[in-house]
Chain A
Amino acid sequence: MADGRSRPESGGYADDDGPPPTASFQLGIEDSQEHLDELQFSLVHSQDADKEDIAEEIEALTCRSVAAHGPEEGFDSLDGYSGRGSSRAFRPHSVEFEDTLSEMMTIQRVDSQDVLFDSRPKKAKIIGQYVIGDLLGEGSYAKVKEAMHQDQLIRRAIKIMKRKKLKRIPKGEENVEKEIRLLGRLSHANVMSLIEVLYNEEKGKIYLVLEYCCGVLKDMLDAADRHRFPMWQAHFYFGQLLEGLSYLYSKRVIHKDIKPGNLLLNTAHVLKICDFGVAEELDLFAPDDTITTSQGTPTFQPPEIANGADAFAGFKIDIWSSGVTLYNFVTGSYPFEGETIFRLFENIATCEFEVPSHVGPVLEDLIRGMLAKAPEHRLTLVQVQSHDWVRKRIPPNEPAVPVKLRADDDLGLSSTVLPYICDILSREEFEEDHQGLTECPMLVTGHELNQESHHANGNGAGHSSGTRGTRGTRGSSSDEKTTKCIKVRKLGSCLLS
């Protein structure tokens, strides 16, 4: 029992290898040892422990891990154990209670019934009508978390931004406001739709509720063999990108930051163009698409911008960056690279690049057409759409690069929101003010955990099939207790036994 591991709570599209620690919603694993592995725990020696101190300690631990997100928290599970589980649980005692140190170091036999686990209930957070789940991804100024609408039960992605952070980025707030305004007007299958915007003025936070997507093309490419898509898959996504761009054009919107990192997929493999932070909307009566600013990603910028032109044709920028994107889809590399941004822009400005031979002449012609140095020689969107490579049918003769899913989620269908919902349901009294209710950490013994999952099974509640089996339930049966009875107060005897 003693080799249970703790796992950091951080999650995300890219860096989450371990399943989030959930007490009763892990799917399909029958082994109870595995069950315990996923729990943050602290081993408590009943005689030495100052009860209050321990409770405090665990609370601090819980708060810390809930607050901590992102790649810097990405310990692998072993590190997580030795670096956090043990040190956080033991060190304070060894420092504060030096006299008991020797006693603590001696190995004592601890009955597994006395091992106290912190089941780390997911603290449910509710914003507007949405129950918030785990982190999906993180950008320079925003976090994206999974969320679920309380009544509609629709999965959403919620982009959380802090005004304080935005202020530090040039044009940060302005860009967000622009994005909100733009997205509000757009509605197309291939454009990420904005469901609603919520504000928390006290915390200075802005929440964009967006369509839920399960994958980013860039992540798929990164994980793919030779970092590229099979021809047919590239064709499939590129066609959708063109549909989206064509719609944007009809709405006079220039995206200005087309790249695989801004192209998402939903569970039905529909491509969604997202991130309109640097996009620009032309005036209804603008005679042409001349614009004067661009803040896109350097690798995807056209020569006219690399050369520092004052004004340029807007839609041709999107054509160029879509060309670079297409090049990246089929070759796994970029047409222009450079160690520094100056080198990169120098290379872009000369506009000389190689197209690998496996690409074939038809596609090479399209890529060269889209990456023509002079904007006026560059293909228009309509020309791209009527290009032979776009029009032709490519049979899927190679296996697809799969959407990268979280490790515990085979179909992209399981939701990280479930444990949080579990938290809400397990509370004795649920009030709107969830802040106050989540203050006391839940301490559970392995014994009680088994009972808990047993009850979850018994109660059904729609998730019973996914709930872990109950093995090794020891002690007297207590079927009359429901899951929500588990709380600290009950475990006092456990601590002191």
Chain B
Amino acid sequence: MKGIFGKSSKSPTEIVRNMKEDLVVLEKGGDGKKQEKAQEDLSKQLINMKTLLFGSDSEQQSDIILAQLSQEMYNYGLLILLISNLHRIDFEGKKDAVQIFNNVLRRQIGTRTPTVEYICTKPEILSALCRGYEQQEIALNCGTMLRECVRFESLTKILLNSEHFYDFFKYVEVSTFDIASDAFATFKELLTRHKMVAADFLEANFDKVFNNYQKLLHSDNYVTRRQSLKLLGELLLDRHNFSVMTRYISNPDNLKLMMNMLKEKSRNIQFEAFHVFKVFVANPNKPKPILDILLRNQDKLVEFLTKFHTDRSEDDQFNDEKAYLIKQIKDLKPIAE
């Protein structure tokens, strides 16, 4: 095998061992010269490894080498070292590390994905990735790796059921916009990528999740408020989350919140709120507290909805739904005692 510079490259074992040594030096800190040398060597090794993974001449050989490479990575515990020292690696090196991680993660033998299985036994790798959102210089790199992890059901399950999931409610509101959006993208993937897993999770942790979610809906940050409201609508209207929806729409506090959001200043938020509000009204089995609120505001709601976003004349679906809601609210009658 030839490396990219024409000289023969080292064996997978050597590359992994060298990388590990460099990372240990970096982790220890201290002597400046030594650090610098380790930095430099590490960048080189990352390139070597990338060449092994991405640019090989013959399939057969690369399969064996890949197996060897990933096996050595597990043996030396390289992944966790790489992630926990990611902030110490130079800019290009970080990107290489992300590519290597994602490639190794995707490796598949028949129906098995060895790296995924490996990470399942080492949840600290996932924790380290999540905590990456707290460090500005590696947040986006970690986000990319996390979303790659979320592609796999087993890893999503671990992430959802870890305490780290609740940190996302914090991360999506950080002041750096690109990090917050990246975190929100990961958050959304976690809740929508594997529908059944997410539905089970939401059902089992309903109160905890939605108590936290409420905070997003009340956020001072317009983007957070709007994004989270949109995601909420998507989640509730997804058939997989049927029981989550029925539970959500039987809570009068949620209805009040949506009615308040209908009156928000931002038209976009009003519009998103409409799509959640409609579910409360369309519910054929409205619990009494919900019905009471709607009845108390019957006339006001009809008047409000009649004037609501009248300029959306081109959106047939919206107008149909609006007409339907108005009719439903007009027809509301108290339950006979």
Contact = CB atoms under 8 A, between A and B. Distances in A.
Interface stretch (A17-25, A167-175, A385-393): A385-393
A102 interface: no
B237 interface: yes
B317 A284 contact: no
Given A285-B283, A392-B110, A393-B108, A250 B239 contact: yes
Interface string A270-290: 000000000000101100000
Contact of B111 (A185, A249, A252, A391): A391
A369 B279 CA distance: 36
B240 A284 contact: no
Interface string A370-394: 0000000000001000001001110
A91 interface: no
> Interface size bucket, A side?
10 to 19
Contacts of B237: 251, 284
A393 B113 CA distance: 10
B60 to A, nearest CB: 11
A361 interface: no
B283 A282 contact: no
B332 interface: no
A251 B284 CA distance: 19
B185 interface: no
A141 B111 CA distance: 44
A181 B317 contact: yes
A391 B317 CA distance: 38
B75 to A, nearest CB: 24
Given A392-B110, A393-B110, A185 B240 contact: no
A392 B109 CA distance: 8
Contacts of A185: 317
B134 interface: no
A252 B239 contact: yes
A250 B111 contact: no
Contacts of A246: 195
Interface in B262-287: 279, 282-285
B239 A251 contact: yes
Contacts of B108: 392-393
Contacts of A282: 239
Contacts of B279: 284
B328 to A, nearest CB: 13
A250 B238 contact: yes
A184 interface: yes
A250 B195 contact: yes
Interface string B78-109: 00000000000000000000000000000011
Contacts of B293: none
Contacts of A388: 111
Nearest to A395: B59
Given A250-B195, A250-B239, A250-B240, A284 B282 contact: yes
A382 B199 CA distance: 13
A181 to B, nearest CB: 7
Interface of B: 108-111, 195-196, 237-240, 279, 282-285, 316-317
18 contacts: A184-B317, A185-B317, A246-B195, A249-B239, A250-B195, A250-B238, A250-B239, A251-B239, A252-B239, A284-B279, A285-B282, A285-B285, A391-B111, A392-B108, A392-B110, A392-B111, A393-B109, A393-B110
Interface of A: 181, 184-185, 246, 249-252, 282, 284-285, 382, 388, 391-393
Given A249-B240, A251-B237, A382-B196, 14 more contacts: A181-B317, A185-B317, A250-B238, A250-B239, A251-B239, A282-B239, A284-B282, A285-B282, A285-B284, A285-B285, A392-B111, A393-B108, A393-B109, A393-B110
The 3 closest A-B pairs by CB, nearest first: A392-B111, A393-B108, A250-B238
